[in-house]
Structure 1
Amino acid sequence: MSIAKLALVNIVGDMKSLDDVIIRCLDRGDFHPEPSQQAAGGIRGFTPLSEENPYTDALQKLTDAGVAAGLNPKYMPEYVRSDKLSRVAAHSRQYYEDFYRTFSEGLGALRERMNFLQGEIDQDEAALLILSHLAELDVDFDELFTCKYIKVRLGRLPLDSYQKLSFYAGKPFIFKSFDAEKDYRWGAYFCMAEDAPEIDDIFSSLYFERMRVPAFIHGTPETALTRLREEIATNREQLAAAKNQFQELVDAQRDRYYKLYTRLKFLSDSFDMRKYVSVLKREFIDVFYITGFIEESRADDFAKSLRLLADVTVEVKPDDSDKRLQPPTKLKNGWFSRPFEMFVEMYGLPAYGDFDPTPFVAFTYSLLFGVMFGDLGQGLVLVLGGWLLWRFKRFQIGAVVNRIGIFSCIFGTLYGSVFGFEELLTPFYTNVLGLPGKPIEVMAPENTNLILIAAVALGVVLICTCILMDIFVSLHKRDYERAFFSANGVAGLVFYGAVLFGAVMMFLAGKNYFTHLYVILLIVLPLAVILLKEPLGNLLRGLGAKPEEGMGAYLTVAPFELFEVVLSFFSNTMSFLRVGGFVLSHAGMMAVVFTLSEMVGNAASPAVIIIGNLFVMGMEGLIVGIQVLRLEFYEMFSRYFDGDGKPFSPVTVKGAGK
């Protein structure tokens, strides 16, 4: 459970072997290259390799073709692994262009045919809808619309407007209704050509919706309906055949498409890796240079695989060989701690060689969650639910929920709570274990203050632990100023411990330890050391006591920072009251659930209990999880963790899913 030990790797070779080196680096997926400006910036003659990726356009076209075909363009590593590597670059870019053109043209022709047929069907169905309401019109449409002196308008009229037609009985028009709907009357109105503008205005005011008969409709409505139904049936058959041809083409090219897409994706991403390459141009040979980091346990195997290539030299060095480069950080934790790496990464990675806080975070987060959300039954649900989320959805948070559910079960057992039934485990403790009752009685009024005090005491222990961790880390980094003179160093620990010890002894034992000597040596002096941290640190380094910004400016700002330090000790300690508060609120919410279940009667009581448990697990579980994360970040991380490391990012094909 630590930060993985790395080795520095330098790769030098003939430019002719560069593609093979890059391919092997991507295929392994365990090599973290450094930017060429940093890696070769100090080597005379080496310049970054800057070339435009020749595969970008072809990859985009192939991706678009796959999407249009209903395929999901995805990288399939099995096509470029192990012995198949030699065949990756077997095709030129023109080969991929030719496949794209042939595939796209075939699909495009079929898609155009399907769109045409669908358009014809939509057009005929729209006409069919209109004609179905005009079936009683026993007139040839060609004769009807070629009348020179009479105008005809077909459409539908709202029922309330239809009833108002009597108001226009004196107007020169005839309205003939052919069909009725729920809210409309279908029909046509006839008028003389010279009266058409006036009559059109009247029907427009009555919200008449005119339906234009398509020009391709001929004959009587009955004849046209028969012909339309036949055309629709024929077009649907042709559309189904075109769809089958489209799918057959996709199925026939599916495997080849994925192979070519995978290879092209691999080549495109491998070319992008050239930004990590520096080149030295000589008269007879061009030399490339790549440097980066790899796990120490994999370094020899990595070097061996590259040394098989002609004109390639690989040099493995200790991680600190090049002072210009900061090694990246790769967290390496065990089964229980590994899911909590996501919380550490949210705050920031530890620098390489620093202390990895993940195991501490895993334990404290699970502990605090279990204390605040203690219930055996609900904890088992969290364990199972978290496992299912991780097993089937690969959600990282599911693995976290699985772990914290274990601690929820532990404290739920101590509280004697199972799905809110606070006395369900009491017989086990009294009859089996011979105890007078449950180890912790949350609902007892006399225990309320004890729970809150215990929560603060837990917070004190955790804060002191964080300060001790910071002292250890600072000594390891030889940062003696921070280790001895900072608020999270020895001075801060002495001040915090002295204040707490004196307060506890005064309130619990009635003894006053706050004598003049005690206050001066253990409270005032540590505060003075914290106030003068920078001057004392400079003296320790032999640089003189004067701060960089001057003593006057320093003493102007430092007292305010000291006040903030003192305030933070108090506020951080009191923040842990929320731990005890949630212990009580969880029990209280479940008590409310059981009160409601009693109010609804025996029939609905089980449903209320189930729904209540689900509600508490969802709402309070989320709130507790957020509050514990807040305690981790603000009350603990800020005391011992800087998070100034950079991530270990090995090059691989995007979407390869190592």
Structure 2
Amino acid sequence: MFRPEEMVKLEVITLNRYKDELLTYLHEAGAVEIRETEVRIAQRDAPNEYYRKAASYSITISRLTEFLKAYKRTSGGGIKEFFFPRERPKRTYRYEGIEKLIKDVETFLSKAEPEIKAVESRISSIQTEIERIREAIATLEMLSSLDIEVSYLRHSGLVEVTVGSVERPRLKGLLEELKKATEGRVAVVTRDFKDRVLMVIATLRRDHDRVNSILAKHSFERIEVPEGKGKPSELLREYERKLDGKFKELEDAKRDAEGLAEKYYEEVRFYQELMENERDKASVLPMLARTNMTFALTGWLPRPEVPRVLEGIKRITGGKAYINVREPTREEIEDIPIKLKNPKWARPFEMLTEMYGVPRYDEVDPTPIIAFTYSFFFGFMLTDFMYGLIVGIVAALLVKGHRKFNDGTYKFAYTLLWSSVFTILMGILFGSYFGNAGDIVLQYITGNPNAHFWRIADSLRDPMFVLTLALAIGLAHLFTGYTIGFVVKWKNGDKKGALFDQLSWMLIIIAIVLFATKTSTLLAEAIFGVGIILFAIGEVVNNGGLAALLIISDFFGFIGTWLSYARLMALALATSGIAMVINVLTGMVWSIKFLYIGPLVGIIIFIGGQLFSTAINALGAFVHSLRLQYVEFFGTFYSGDGKPFTPFRAKREVSKLELKADGGV
């Protein structure tokens, strides 16, 4: 706790014939972050033909998966599925090498791909035909105002017929130019169509070029006349019958696709995951070094995983491997990947730390601290027993339903669950139950207009008490951060930074507390003076000639940071204020007694308003509590410049490998 997981450097050299099995074992173990091996006399490794095939088949199967997924019948869903998602069963594959896996995939594709592609092609062809018929219908609807045989509109012998439309203002100029260019050898039929004019133009074939240039000049849009015989209105009915027939064909094809999805989807998804993991394995090959007989890999490994990983390597290679596990050097500190290590109760809060950035290897992991401070600040800002109860019930259901997945939803719900506990406690301390609704109910039951729940203070009537409390909490939070920073810098050998950048502010904060409590003015002045002197010296040492300006700027920057904690009070007041407004509106409507409309509408306003208030104020508490951690608290000691530990790990949702290293036969 408070420190990242201890990491060691792993170096392995072994024979090439163990490469595939060893990489597969490490991929499934998910414990080593493989790094690029320094190459001097050896050469870089590269994917062989089987890994290249895996990448190609991954793309092919992904396309099949997307097609089948669109036609897969789904079940479940809804609120219950959201809170309690079902765990997908995993199918086991006995891994005997990538060559065998590729052969199995090829066997499967030879059976499934032709069937799937045939139905896919059939659906695509029908959909294309439907679009063509629809376009033809749209054209015939446009031409239906013409009582002309359709075959005449496609005439292109001695006389050439052109059908199209033109913008209404261009019509007059177009007709004049056509008559002039053809010396009157033109026949035109026009019909109004929306904001354009439908035109049928008959000209001699020899005037083709001149007519085309004039039509282009006036932005004439040609219309392709559909195939068929009869007048447009007659042909329209024929095309509508064709469209109905194609829709029936499409439904039949979709039913076939649904049958294939039922038959093949899970299997296709299974092989897709296998291929994607092989492609992922291939991505680390260029990081390895190899000779004709051997290969070498290096990486970072958490110390607790060392025995398990070494045992697996020795089992796979039969002991024919050089293995070196060493401690990181001082020069490698910035390069060491960071895996957070916290007790079980604080582990979900690592998500909040990782959102900002993981610590360096020589820094403190703030997760256990923000597990408390984030939850407490959230509760202080929301400050309502009933709001906390609502958030807690929702969070508890999500935690229970998603615990087995340990996913982002579980971690977020877990943080909300603890935050709801603090919200309930703060609601009790400030006597807030849907704002002042609890007091209103209590007064109604007891008949005492002054009755109210116990509280240490009313946030709306005594805002200065809440503000003072918020600023005191802010000082404690900042002091904790500067103290951690002092310890870390001193331990890492940066004694100058510890004294000038951290201790100076620690002394100033202590002095502020002594001034505020009036404990000892003389002692407070002495401590404040020492703190200011250390601060000023630090500014001169760090900034040289700019120190005169930065002393004032940085000091008032600290004051601004401290005053940021006033948002604790502001959001607490906002929560109480919004809840009170909802209660007032409910009371106003409740007094309407006609046909019980008042009470019914009042209940709707109260429930809807309080749920909305819970959601909007919980969102505000979430955001501002994070801000107090990331900006104010982390600004005192934390960089977050570490590199997250990204192990070489398989992604398994529907598949599971059986390996010899795990006891497979």
- Aligned to 1:487, what secondary structure does the other structure show? helix
Deviations 1:248-302 (A, max 9, x none): 55655545533433332222211222244234x48xx434243421341x32122
Q: Which has the higher contact order (CA 8 A, sep 6+)?
A: 2
Quick one: distance in 2 between partners of 1:118 and 1:553?
71
Quick one: distance in 1 between partners of 2:22 and 2:426?
55
Quick one: distance in 1 between partners of 2:366 and 2:327?
21
Matched, 1:495 2:490: no
Deviations 1:50-75 (A, max 9, x none): 425753565245424532561469xx
Quick one: distance in 2 between partners of 1:33 and 1:190?
74
CA 1:147–1:605: 2 relative to 1, 3 Å: same
The answer (yes or no) to whether the contact 2:379–2:424 under 8 Å persists in 1 is yes
Equivalent residue in structure 2 for 1:375, among 366, 370, 384: 384
Task: Using the aligned pairs only, state the percent identity.
Answer: 20
CA 1:494–1:250: 2 relative to 1, 3 Å: closer
Deviations 1:12-42 (A, max 9, x none): 21122122111100011122233323xxx7x
TM-score w.r.t. the length of structure 2 is 0.73
- Aligned to 1:9, what secondary structure does the other structure show? strand
Partner of 2:662: none
CA 1:189–1:593: 2 relative to 1, 3 Å: same
Which residue type is aligned with residue 33 of structure 1? I
Q: How far is the alpha carbon of 1:653 from its aligned partner? A: 2.8
Equivalent residue in structure 2 for 1:582, among 548, 571, 579: 571
CA 1:125–1:278: 2 relative to 1, 3 Å: closer
Quick one: distance in 1 between partners of 2:114 and 2:123?
14
Bigger CA radius of gyration: 1
Q: How far is the alpha carbon of 1:192 from its aligned partner? A: 11
Written as runs of structure 1 = structure 2, the 5 A alignment for 1:32-111 is: 32-37=33-38, 45=40, 47=42, 49-52=44-47, 54=49, 55-56=51-52, 58-60=54-56, 62-67=58-63, 70-71=67-68, 78=90, 84-92=94-102, 107-111=116-120
Deviations 1:117-147 (A, max 9, x none): 4444444455567768999999976689879
- Aligned to 2:337, what secondary structure does the other structure show? coil
Written as runs of structure 1 = structure 2, the 5 A alignment for 1:223-622 is: 228=239, 231-232=242-243, 235-246=246-257, 248=259, 252-279=263-290, 281=291, 285-296=293-304, 298-309=305-316, 310=318, 312-313=320-321, 315=323, 317=325, 319-320=327-328, 324=332, 326-352=335-361, 354-388=363-397, 391=401, 394-395=408-409, 396-424=411-439, 438-443=454-459, 445=461, 447-483=462-498, 485-489=499-503, 491-505=504-518, 512-513=521-522, 519=525, 521-532=526-537, 555-602=544-591, 603=598, 604-622=601-619
Equivalent residue in structure 2 for 1:643, among 623, 633, 640: 640
CA 1:384–1:56: 2 relative to 1, 3 Å: farther
Partner of 1:653: 650
CA 1:406–1:312: 2 relative to 1, 3 Å: farther
Partner of 2:178: none
Q: How far is the alpha carbon of 1:377 from its aligned partner? A: 1.0
Equivalent residue in structure 1 for 2:629, among 621, 632, 639: 632
Deviations 1:215-247 (A, max 9, x none): x31357797577656655655555445445555
Quick one: distance in 2 between partners of 1:273 and 1:149?
71
TM-score w.r.t. the length of structure 1 is 0.73
User: Aligned residue pairs: how many?
Assistant: 599
The answer (yes or no) to whether the contact 2:431–2:453 under 8 Å persists in 1 is no
- Aligned to 2:301, what secondary structure does the other structure show? strand
- Aligned to 1:383, what secondary structure does the other structure show? helix
- Structure 2, unaligned stretches of length 5 or more? 71-87, 168-183, 209-218, 592-597, 657-665
Q: How far is the alpha carbon of 1:87 from its aligned partner? A: 4.9
Q: How far is the alpha carbon of 1:466 from its aligned partner? A: 2.5
Quick one: distance in 2 between partners of 1:552 and 1:470?
18
- Aligned to 1:70, what secondary structure does the other structure show? helix
Which residue type is aligned with residue 505 of structure 2? G
Deviations 1:400-442 (A, max 9, x none): 22221221111112222122235449969x99xxx99622232
Written as runs of structure 1 = structure 2, the 5 A alignment for 1:108-147 is: 108-124=117-133, 127=136
Quick one: distance in 1 between partners of 2:159 and 2:297?
89
Which residue type is aligned with residue 487 of structure 1? D
CA 1:471–1:493: 2 relative to 1, 3 Å: same
- Aligned to 2:359, what secondary structure does the other structure show? coil
Q: How far is the alpha carbon of 1:79 from its aligned partner? A: 5.5
CA 1:318–1:157: 2 relative to 1, 3 Å: closer
CA 1:349–1:155: 2 relative to 1, 3 Å: closer
Deviations 1:605-633 (A, max 9, x none): 22222333233333333223222222222
Which residue type is aligned with residue 382 of structure 2? F
Quick one: distance in 2 between partners of 1:222 and 1:563?
86
